[in-house]
Amino acid sequence: MGDVTVDVERLREEVQRKYVEVVEHPEHEFHFHTGRRAARNNGYLDQWLEGLPEEAVASYAGVANPFHWGLPKPGEHVVDVGSGAGLDALIAARAVGPDGHVIGVDMTPEMLEQASAAATAGGIANVEFRQGLAERLPVAKGWADLVISNGVINLVPNKLGAYRQVARALRPGGRVQVADICVERPVPESALRDIDLWTG
């Protein structure tokens, strides 16, 4: 998308409101699937979830499986854009092992708190969660071997800006594994301005 016509600040507030509810009330019904059932539906293997704190699993809100193309390799550096309650970042952290490192980035403080608490509860030390925007990733240039993201870029109005940040964070030859929602037809201008359609 070239020009961003939606009110970006208001959109971010609404997105935060929606996902804070997922963290605070994972038992509520949402217009998207959440938790262990969603992870299973998306093709996550039981062994990936085994031993992870229930809170991280319960507040999972991914739309598909960024590990469809394979788990990160031992020793790799991974960035999770829009890490939410942390499930994908924790799975990645266990896959990269003690010589690897994972940075989860999210704009919502409640998500970061939940994800950090889950890492501590799970005894997973090679993961950290940083507050930041997909459009301004707080990660050094060329640091990542792999960037993953799950259900986030569809919520970002400046998609090209977000992908430029992914390219900046990656080392030459690094990989991107994005699970997201794509619309294959042009979206009418009126819909682009309708924040309920972005978050709903």
Residues that bind ligand SAM (CB under 6 A): 15-16, 19, 60-62, 82-85, 87-88, 106-108, 111, 133-135, 150-152, 155-156
Query: Which of residues 65 and 143 has its CB atom nearest to ligand SAM in the complex?
Result: 65
Query: Which of residues 53 and 151 has its CB atom nearest to ligand SAM in the complex?
Result: 151
41 Cβ contact partners less than 8 Å away, ≥ 6 residues apart: 33
Which residue sits closest to ligand SAM, CB atoms considered? 84
Q: Work out how close the CB of 34 gets to ligand SAM at its nearest, in angstroms, rounded to a whole number.
A: 8
Do the Cβ atoms of 7 and 15 come closer than 8 Å? no
Do the Cβ atoms of 148 and 81 come closer than 8 Å? yes
Using N-to-C axis directions, what is the helix angle for 109-121 and 87-96, rounded to 10°? 40
Q: Work out how close the CB of 199 gets to ligand SAM at its nearest, in angstroms, rounded to a whole number.
A: 10
Query: Which of residues 46 and 99 has its CB atom nearest to ligand SAM in the complex?
Result: 46
User: 69 is written with which tokens?
Assistant: 């193309």
Q: Work out how close the CB of 190 gets to ligand SAM at its nearest, in angstroms, rounded to a whole number.
A: 22
Q: Work out how close the CB of 183 gets to ligand SAM at its nearest, in angstroms, rounded to a whole number.
A: 16
Q: Work out how close the CB of 185 gets to ligand SAM at its nearest, in angstroms, rounded to a whole number.
A: 22
**What sign does the dihedral 85-180-140-7 (CA atoms) show?**
negative
Query: Which of residues 53 and 62 has its CB atom nearest to ligand SAM in the complex?
Result: 62
Query: Which of residues 70 and 75 has its CB atom nearest to ligand SAM in the complex?
Result: 70
Q: What angle do CA 132, 144, 13 make, to 5 degrees?
A: 20
Local structure of residue 103 (DSSP, 8 states): E
Q: Give dist(CA 69, CA 157) in Å, integer.
A: 26
